[in-house]
Structure 1
Amino acid sequence: MDAEAEMLLRYLHGLREAMIWKLDGVTEHDARRPLTPTGTNLLGLVKHVASMEMGYFTAPLGRPSPVPMPWLEDGAAFNADLFATEEESRDWVLDFYRTAWRTTDDAVADLGLDAPAQVPWWGENGRTTLGRLVVHLIVETARHAGHADILRELLDGAVGMRPGNDNMPEAEISDWHTHVEELQRLADEFL
């Protein structure tokens, strides 16, 4: 594997780890609980990102999916890739995500970044390369990792990039309360 592919996969791996870290220490109830008006929840985000990853690095590259994804088929429940069913445990979702990782990593190693790809759901712009798919996946995973950051903070106040590095300024809880109060005061100036 060339240096560019290794670099891209290193960034992707960090984002993948951030996604699953957001589930650490969260109850099954809280992992599944909808926290936005559209039903966004932590476990559903992980299932969605895994589905995206599996979807982009199988059929568009002419490779079979090692896991069926009935939630993406016609007739599936509304928004079915963004929540885990009763039968889809947290462990199942995490195993599915790790299978998607291996599928992507194997495709990059086997085919290289210049390999052609055809993404049917991109329409006439669907002809692309595996390298572009990796970049697309990094962007999408980063976007959803940000969603997961916010959901986790709403659940229990936990924030950060990864264990041992929250990437937040050092502050006491009282400092954050004062900061939020000041931001609210500033916003209220525009009522």
Structure 2
Amino acid sequence: MPRTDTDTNADTTPQDEPRVTGERADLLEALTHHRTMLRVTARDLTDEQAGRRTTVSELCVGGIIKHVTSVERVWTAFIQDGLSALGDVTDMTDEDWAQRADEFRMLPGETLAGVLAAYEQVARRTDELVRYLPDLDVSHPLPEAPWWEPGGRWSARRVLLHVIGETSQHAGHADIIRESLDGALSMG
């Protein structure tokens, strides 16, 4: 008997998309969960609120989302392209650091909708990479920097765990900022 969309056990995976199970499914589920928690902190905010600092730090909800978007974009590029995706982190100019600082704030002309759309686009690309990457053990050397072990390498799996950790940590930061802004809670 052919399956229909109303079958409770019907596989909803499109024909050209691999069915994701096991470790990959777990990684995607964790990414989805923490991304959702981060996006929830921005619900119903205006652009001005998304750019407002509510603590002594430079962080704002919109800036945190921009930063997490950049982190995910760079690290998934590292999975595909290796060291060249990270650039030379030991030789950053003042302009490089200023650009990096701009990731943490809403700049004139930026909107929360635009920031969230960019995040969604990067998330889709990451999810696609996780689905289609032939091997999660593929690895690349890390750049020489004081914050990494000398001669260190990260596998795709390790990179994805790092992205999950970054997203989770920054979702917590955003939750505190949002609560300081208007009392709203991600889990409340």
**TM-score interval, smaller chain:** 0.7 to 0.9
Q: Show the counterpart of 2:72.
A: 53
1:3 is the counterpart of 2:29: no
How far does the alpha carbon of each residue in 1:33-79 deviate from its partner, in whole angstroms, 9 at most, with x for none? Answer: 112223110000000111100010013421898xxxxxxx8414261
Structure 1 residues 51, 81: closer, same or farther in 2, change over 3 A?
same
Inter-partner Cα distance in structure 2 for 1:32 and 1:97:
16
Q: Which runs of 4+ in 1 moved over 2 A?
A: 117-126
Inter-partner Cα distance in structure 1 for 2:111 and 2:149:
34
Of structures 1 and 2, the one scoring higher in RCO (CA 8 A, sep 6+) is 2
Q: Secondary structure at the match of 2:154?
A: strand
TM-score under structure 2 length normalisation:
0.73
How far does the alpha carbon of each residue in 1:4-28 deviate from its partner, in whole angstroms, 9 at most, with x for none? Answer: 1111110110110111111111122
Inter-partner Cα distance in structure 1 for 2:61 and 2:103:
12
Inter-partner Cα distance in structure 1 for 2:149 and 2:113:
35
Q: Which amino acid aligns with 1:87?
A: G
Inter-partner Cα distance in structure 1 for 2:140 and 2:126:
13
Measure how far apart 1:143 and its partner are.
0.6
Any conservation in 1 of the 2:50–2:62 contact (CA below 8 Å)?
Answer: yes
Any conservation in 2 of the 1:45–1:144 contact (CA below 8 Å)?
Answer: yes
Q: Secondary structure at the match of 1:105?
A: helix
Q: Show the counterpart of 2:52.
A: 33
Inter-partner Cα distance in structure 1 for 2:137 and 2:78:
16
- 1:72-87 matches, cutoff 5 A: 74=93, 75-76=95-96, 77=98, 79-87=101-109
Inter-partner Cα distance in structure 1 for 2:23 and 2:79:
21
Inter-partner Cα distance in structure 1 for 2:140 and 2:29:
22
Any conservation in 2 of the 1:56–1:119 contact (CA below 8 Å)?
Answer: no
Q: Secondary structure at the match of 2:180?
A: helix
- 1:72-151 matches, cutoff 5 A: 74=93, 75-76=95-96, 77=98, 79-111=101-133, 112-120=135-143, 122=148, 124-151=150-177
Inter-partner Cα distance in structure 2 for 1:27 and 1:8:
32
Inter-partner Cα distance in structure 2 for 1:89 and 1:115:
37
Any conservation in 2 of the 1:61–1:118 contact (CA below 8 Å)?
Answer: no
Measure how far apart 1:125 and its partner are.
4.7
Inter-partner Cα distance in structure 1 for 2:31 and 2:169:
12
The percent of aligned pairs where both chains have the same amino acid is 32
Q: Show the counterpart of 2:4.
A: none
Q: Show the counterpart of 1:175.
A: none
Inter-partner Cα distance in structure 1 for 2:149 and 2:106:
29
**Which runs of 5 or more structure 2 residues have no equivalent in the other structure?**
1-19, 86-91
